[in-house]
């Protein structure tokens, strides 16, 4: 099927076009620059930016793919989770297009779309979902380990963060280290020249009272916590400033990153082993992180788990991931959405289509 994908859940206006398992176009306009001076995304600004960027981005995508709107078989759009006002812009536009062109509409889950795009390779060709698959979803707002039986109708939450998301931890820690926004790429870069063993930062929820044993699992065995980590980094930085020393930013960034990536990969791999899952997909903006990709590949390799990671350019928000999930849904014969679906800012990950 030829599927148009529309993404407007946060600050990226994304339009992707997929034909079957092949990506034809992926155009992204970001309002990130307009949020930089606030240190985070301002919902009202994001929504207005989507309204302005939507049509030009759509035109570019259709041109790049060399297709006409009339040719598409279905329109997929992010229905949630995300910023309500931002979601409404994309969803309203998608409904208008679907109605005018007489195409089926799929209001889809943004998080499952992050996972679906992991199956794409560097050339934009997607492979089928392997059997017994888990997904490690690490983004700006979510950190979850999932069992993925089918991208059309079977996603189950195994564990998640109980406070900050991994991307949020990167963004907050980068801000306190003065590395700017967004923090993920900034810390990834700063960490390259730092020593990851310089500081031993906490690995949240790894104590026996939280984890229990495989036979008798504790409540937080498969969960993460990242809020204590930024406090630990802040305290370590203060030790230097209070004594008039320069803050060792690169060492702090590298040690912070090592703590995040260590506990993310250790718990994800163990969850797979304990649930009999032999394959893992990585998805979400933090999936672009170089150290996460490296350590996860190493640990999955050692555990005999087949790891599939998305191309770096498809990790952060884009329309290709929505189109990719849409194509899966059409191919699986999933029923389309009705044209009166709402935007759901807190859509749970196991609701794939609204």
> Which position among 57, 109, 223, 316 is part of the footprint of ligand ATP (CB under 6 A)?
316
Closest contact distance (angstroms) between CB of 66 and ligand ATP is 28
Say if residue 252 carries a ligand binding annotation.
Answer: no
The reply to whether 350 sits in an annotated binding site is no
Q: Output 212 or 348, the one with its CB closest to Fe ion.
A: 348
Whether 203 and 217 have beta carbons less than 8 Å apart is answered as no
User: Of the candidates 5, 85, 90, 184, which one interacts with ligand ATP according to CB under 6 A?
Assistant: 184
Q: Which residues of 240-270 are buried (b: 16+ CB within 10 A; e: fewer)?
A: eeeeeeebbbbbbbbbbbbbbbbbbbebbbb
**319 sits near ligand ATP (criterion: CB under 6 A):** no
Cα of 122 vs its chain's centroid, Å: 18
169 interacts with Mg ion by CB under 5 A: no
**From ligand ATP, Mg ion, Fe ion, none, which one binds at residue 7 (CB under 5 to 8 Å depending on kind)?**
none
Side by side, the strands of the sheet bearing 133-138 are: 154-160, 143-150, 133-138, 279-283, 306-308
Considering only the stretches 68-76, 134-142, 219-227, 333-341, report the one whose residues sit in contact with ligand ATP under the rule CB under 6 A. 134-142
Task: Please say which residue, 12 or 164, places its beta carbon nearer to Mg ion.
Answer: 12
Task: Name the residue nearer to ligand ATP (CB basis): 72 or 88.
Answer: 88
Does residue 123 have a known ligand-binding role?
no
Residue 164 interacting with ligand ATP (CB under 6 A): no
Q: Which stretch binds ligand ATP (CB under 6 A): 22-30, 133-141, 146-154, 327-335?
A: 133-141
Residue 251 CA, chain-centre distance (Å), reads 26
Residue 13 lies near ligand ATP (rule: CB under 6 A): no
Shortest reach from residue 43's CB to ligand ATP, in Å: 12
What radius of gyration, in Å, describes the C-alpha atoms of the chain? Answer: 20
Q: How many helices (H) and strands (E) does the chain have?
A: 11, 10
Binding letters toward Mg ion, positions 295-324, x by CB under 5 A: ----------------------x-------
Write the CA distances from 351 to 83, 114, 155, 340, 344, integer angstroms: 17, 14, 8, 17, 11
Structure tokens at 225: 């916590």
Residue 8 binds ligand ATP, judged by CB under 6 A = no
**Four-CA torsion 17, 19, 20, 23, nearest 10 degrees:** -60
Strands 143-150 and 105-109: unpaired
The burial of 278, by beta-carbon neighbours within 10 Å (0-12 exposed, 13-18 middle, 19 or more buried), is given as middle
- Both structure tokens of 311: 């191309």
CB of 184 to ligand ATP, least distance (A): 2
Does residue 182 belong to the site contacting ligand ATP (CB under 6 A)? Answer: yes
Stretch that binds ligand ATP, among 20-28, 95-103, 178-186, 241-249 (CB under 6 A): 178-186
Describe the crossing of helices 249-275 and 183-191 by its angle, rounded to 10 degrees.
Answer: 110
Q: Which is nearer to ligand ATP, 72 or 307 (CB)?
A: 307
Q: Is 295 annotated as belonging to a binding site?
A: no
In degrees to the nearest 10, what's the CA dihedral of 208, 209, 214, 219? -140
Structure tokens at 114: 């992050």
User: DSSP of 186-216, one letter per residue?
Assistant: HHHHHHTTS-TTSS----TT-SHHHHB-SSS
**Contact residues: Fe ion, CB under 5 A:** 139, 317
Q: Is 326 in the site for ligand ATP (CB under 6 A)?
A: no
* Element spanning 328, H or E: helix 319-331
Residues lying near Mg ion in the complex (CB under 5 A)? 10-12, 317
Residues in binding site for Fe cation = 110, 114, 317
Residues lying near ligand ATP in the complex (CB under 6 A)? 9-10, 81-82, 110, 114, 139-142, 167, 170-171, 182-185, 188, 284-286, 288-289, 316-317
Residues in binding site = 110, 114, 137-141, 171, 184, 188, 289, 317
Residues in binding site for substrate = 137-141, 171, 184, 188, 289
């Amino acid at each position: 099927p030829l599927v148009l994908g529309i993404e407007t859940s946060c600050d990226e206006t994304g339009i992707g076009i997929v034909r079957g398992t092949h990506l034809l176009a992926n155009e992204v306009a970001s309002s990130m620059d307009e949020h930089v001076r606030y240190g985070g995304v301002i919902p009202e600004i994001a929504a207005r930016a989507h309204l302005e960027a939507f049509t030009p981005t759509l035109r570019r995508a259709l041109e790049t793919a060399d297709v006409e709107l009339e040719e598409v078989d279905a329109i997929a759009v992010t229905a949630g989770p995300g910023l309500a006002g931002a979601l409404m812009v994309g969803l309203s536009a998608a409904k208008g297009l679907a109605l005018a062109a007489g195409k089926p509409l799929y209001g889809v889950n943004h998080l499952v779309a992050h996972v679906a795009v992991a199956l794409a390779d560097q050339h934009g060709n997607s492979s089928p979902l392997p059997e017994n698959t888990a997904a490690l979803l690490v983004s700006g707002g979510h950190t979850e380990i999932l069992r993925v039986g089918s991208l059309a109708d079977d996603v189950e939450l195994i564990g998640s963060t109980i406070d900050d998301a991994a991307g949020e931890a990167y963004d907050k820690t980068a801000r306190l280290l003065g590395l700017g926004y967004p923090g993920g790429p900034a810390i990834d870069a700063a960490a390259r020249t730092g020593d990851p063993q310089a500081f031993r930062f906490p690995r949240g929820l790894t104590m026996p009272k939280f984890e229990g044993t495989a036979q008798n699992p504790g409540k937080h065995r498969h969960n993460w916590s990242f809020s204590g980590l930024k406090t630990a980094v802040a305290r370590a930085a203060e030790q230097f400033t209070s004594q008039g020393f320069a803050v060792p930013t690169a060492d702090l960034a590298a040690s912070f990153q090592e703590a995040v990536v260590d506990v993310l990969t250790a718990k994800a791999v163990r969850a797979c082993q304990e649930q009999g899952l032999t394959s893992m997909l990585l998805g979400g903006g933090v999936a672009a992180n170089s150290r996460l990709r490296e350590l996860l590949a190493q640990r999955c390799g050692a555990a005999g788990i087949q790891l599939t990671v998305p191309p770096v350019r498809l990790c952060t928000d884009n329309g290709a991931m929505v189109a990719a999930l849409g194509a899966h849904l059409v191919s699986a014969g999933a029923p389309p959405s009705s044209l009166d679906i709402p935007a759901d800012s807190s859509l749970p990950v196991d609701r794939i289509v609204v």
